[in-house]
Amino acid sequence: MPDEPVAALSEVTRTYGGVPVLESVSLAVEPGVTAVIGPNGSGKSTLLRALVGATEPTAGEVRHPGATGPKPIGYLPQRVPFREGFTARETLAFYARLVGDDPDAALERIGLGDAGDRRVEALSGGMRRLLGIAQAVLGDPSLVALDEPASGLDPGMRERAFRAATELADGDTAVAVSSHALDLVDEHADRVVLLRRGEVAAAGPLDRLLEERGAADARELYRVVVGETSASAPGEGDGAGGDEGERDAGDAEPGVHVTGVSDR
Ligand SMILES: Nc1ncnc2c1ncn2[C@@H]1O[C@H](COP(=O)(O)OP(=O)(O)OP(=O)(O)O)[C@@H](O)[C@H]1O
């Protein structure tokens, strides 16, 4: 392996109310962009939360051997609770001070250079998402987890969100991104983790997985592995738009998981 894992999960299981939502997940997260894909409710957010330490595994272990520095880990949750009454710049400045970063440079990086003086509650949903990404990457963390960064964004914005993730991962940074936007996965991901009902159904370099499964792109890979028969694989849009494209009833139903499947 040319790349040193930045983080590693071994046999991680997470249950809620006794129901496993992640089952025996073992994974090495390496520098570059790792896309975490899968149907609604398959455990993507839970996996990212476990990866960054936002949730404790019920069993198994999460390690961060390669996550170092003053702020080793950055995380964009699905919903970012910004405090109202502060401008975008003030919001970033609060966190930037803690890690010695420059809020204006952070705004520029994400393309929000002109929005620094606007209050967070006056930003569009997409701009808030971008601000969340800027906040997650403050302090140059070695491991960044972005939970649906392109959710609800227009085509230009979603591209910008993913590009920011890719640029970040240029060096030694490991970026794990959950997404339903499979076109962006094709464009930007080095590796893919495909979850199905809380288990890793496929994982590895995107090119290798496509070749192994005889798939032309991430969308086809998804169909082959998830076994989706409906014509509507997750849509081009992420989040709300993508959710509408998701029609695998068993996977989409919250809290329902077949736990006997083991194709790890
Ligand atoms: N805090 C929680 N309490 C109870 N159940 C939870 C909790 N968090 C997640 N779950 C359940 O765990 C399962 C996996 O949820 P998760 O959000 O990780 O899936 P996901 O793949 O990110 O879904 P989506 O694509 O819809 O965002 C779901 O059935 C969800 O209802």
Q: Which ligand 1 atom is the nearest neighbour of the CA of 47?
A: 18
137 and 149 share one domain: no
230 and 197 share one domain: yes
263 and 169 share one domain: yes
Q: Mean pLDDT across the chain, nearest whole number?
A: 84
pLDDT at 250 over 80: no
ipTM of the shown complex: 0.97
Q: What is the pLDDT of residues 179-210, one digit of tens each?
A: 999 999 999 999 999 999 999 999 999 999 99
Mean pLDDT throughout 72-91? 92
Confidence band, pLDDT 50/70/90 cuts, at residue 252? very low
d(CA 112, CA 261): 45
135 and 178 share one domain: no
Kindly state whether residue 172 falls inside one of the protein's structural domains.
yes
Does residue 49 line the site of ligand 1, with CB under 6 A?
no
192 and 258 share one domain: yes
Cα(40) to ligand 1 centroid in Å equals 8
List phi, psi (to 5°) of 175.
Answer: -115, 120
Kindly state whether residue 111 falls inside one of the protein's structural domains.
yes
Q: What is the pLDDT of residue 126?
A: 86
Q: What is the pLDDT of residue 162?
A: 86
Kindly state whether residue 102 falls inside one of the protein's structural domains.
yes
168 and 236 share one domain: yes
Kindly state whether residue 73 falls inside one of the protein's structural domains.
no
Kindly state whether residue 75 falls inside one of the protein's structural domains.
no
pLDDT at 39 over 90: yes
208 backbone φψ class: left, alpha, beta (φ>0; ψ -120 to 50): alpha
Domain hosting residue 86, numbered range: 81-141
pLDDT at 56 over 50: yes
178 and 237 share one domain: yes
Q: What is the pLDDT of residues 92-141, one digit of tens each?
A: 998 898 888 899 999 998 889 999 999 999 998 888 989 999 999 888 89
The helix (run of H) or strand (run of E) holding residue 205 is strand 199-205
93 and 40 share one domain: no
Kindly state whether residue 119 falls inside one of the protein's structural domains.
yes
Mean pLDDT throughout 165-179? 86
d(CA 255, CA 246): 16
Structural domains counted in the chain: 2
Q: What is the pLDDT of residue 110?
A: 86
Q: Which ligand 1 atom is the nearest neighbour of the CA of 242?
A: 25
Q: Is 260 in a helix, a strand, or coil?
A: coil
Q: What is the pLDDT of residue 47?
A: 98
Q: What is the pLDDT of residue 172?
A: 84
Q: Which ligand 1 atom is the nearest neighbour of the CA of 46?
A: 18
Q: What is the pLDDT of residue 4?
A: 66
136 and 146 share one domain: no
88 and 57 share one domain: no
Q: How many CA atoms lie within 13 A of 200 on its CB side?
A: 19
Does residue 41 line the site of ligand 1, with CB under 6 A?
yes
Kindly state whether residue 170 falls inside one of the protein's structural domains.
yes
Do the Cβ atoms of 254 and 260 come closer than 8 Å? no
Q: What whole-number percentage of the chain has pLDDT above 70?
A: 84
User: Which domain CATH number covers 221?
Assistant: 3.40.50.300
Mean pLDDT throughout 212-230? 88
Dihedral through CA 234, CA 236, CA 242, CA 248, nearest 10? -10
Kindly state whether residue 91 falls inside one of the protein's structural domains.
yes
d(CA 104, CA 219): 37
89 and 193 share one domain: no
Residue nearest to atom 9 of ligand 1 (CA): 46
Does residue 151 line the site of ligand 1, with CB under 6 A?
no
225 and 113 share one domain: no
State pTM to two decimals. 0.85
